[in-house]
């Protein structure tokens, strides 16, 4: 698929990312690995030679991701976890340790933008879970921890999003970017911490909104002429996670086809 070609499926291009500097069987954890951007990231991580802990509330989705990884000879472990719960996260780390010390972390899990739960509850879950997973990771693997990438959004960082998403969403995504900058400076690059801010991306969560007039109009303003695909976000996540980005720390990188410029 060329850069501007309209995709004919819900999946983007796959690239060989083994040259990014990962070592075989190093361990990565991806939260929300059962679908969408998390699934695409986990699969790319496994294809890069990493052993991947697949964390998700939906264990069936995590197991599907694991089965796909195992089908090409990768290493993965599906783990059911609610990242909003301290005890559940602690148990998930115990299970993940079977793969070895975790060197890389991708915080992708969080409530959907359409969640109608109370504002404070959603905000606490979306931001608090990133803090919970990250600090517990560092408590266990401070010596091995190399890099964390947190998934935010263009909403709340480069756009308001008030017309199409719930109030908590942009607030939380802005807070995640700010928290990442805190990590980047507090730990002085050990680990490096960066944020990816996807634009509108086609995932199981967003497919129902593709027929919305507001979303349709918004997508027409993307200079590349289409929405993004999970693998296109995942490839950028993997670069920032990798040793190839060894001097990249504290960035907030939009991956949106130029949407925020339109």
Q: Which two tokens stand for residue 234?
A: 């995942």
Tokens 């802990």 found at: 53
Closest alpha carbon to 237 in 43, 60, 72 = 43
| Active-site annotation holder among 169, 179, 209, 247 | 169
Check: CB of residue 29 under 8 Å from CB of residue 137. Answer: yes
- How far apart CA 89 and CA 67 sit, in angstroms, is 23
Check: CB of residue 234 under 8 Å from CB of residue 17. Answer: no
Helices (H), the chain: 36-47, 59-71, 86-96, 119-141, 167-186, 213-220, 230-241
Cα-based torsion angle of the residue sequence 208, 256, 165, 124 in order, rounded to the nearest 10 degrees: 110
* Residue 169 among the catalytic residues: yes
Q: Which two tokens stand for residue 17?
A: 């990312």
Which positions are annotated as active-site residues?
169
């Amino acid at each position: 698929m060329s850069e501007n070609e309209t995709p004919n499926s819900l999946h983007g291009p796959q690239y060989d990312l083994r040259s990014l500097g990962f070592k075989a069987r190093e361990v990565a954890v991806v939260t929300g690995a059962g679908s969408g951007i998390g699934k695409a990231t986990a699969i790319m991580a496994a294809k890069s030679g990493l052993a991947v802990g697949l964390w998700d509330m939906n264990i069936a989705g995590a197991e599907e991701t694991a089965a796909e990884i195992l089908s090409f000879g990768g290493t993965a472990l599906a783990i059911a976890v609610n990242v909003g719960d301290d005890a559940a996260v602690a148990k998930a780390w115990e299970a993940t340790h079977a793969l070895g010390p975790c060197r890389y972390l991708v915080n992708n899990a969080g409530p959907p933008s359409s969640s109608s739960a109370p504002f404070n509850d959603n905000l606490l879950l979306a931001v608090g879970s990133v803090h919970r997973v990250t600090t517990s990771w560092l408590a266990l693997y401070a010596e091995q921890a190399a890099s964390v990438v947190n998934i935010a959004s263009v909403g709340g960082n480069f756009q308001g999003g008030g017309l199409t998403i719930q109030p908590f969403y942009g607030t939380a995504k802005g807070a995640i970017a700010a928290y990442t900058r805190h990590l980047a400076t507090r730990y002085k690059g050990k680990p490096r911490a960066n944020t990816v801010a996807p634009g509108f991306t086609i995932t199981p969560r967003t497919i129902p909104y593709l027929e919305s007039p507001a979303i349709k109009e918004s997508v027409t303003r993307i200079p590349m002429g289409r929405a993004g695909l999970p693998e296109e976000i995942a490839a950028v996540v993997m670069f920032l996670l990798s040793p190839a980005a060894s001097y990249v720390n504290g960035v907030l990188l939009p991956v949106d086809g130029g949407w925020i410029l339109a």
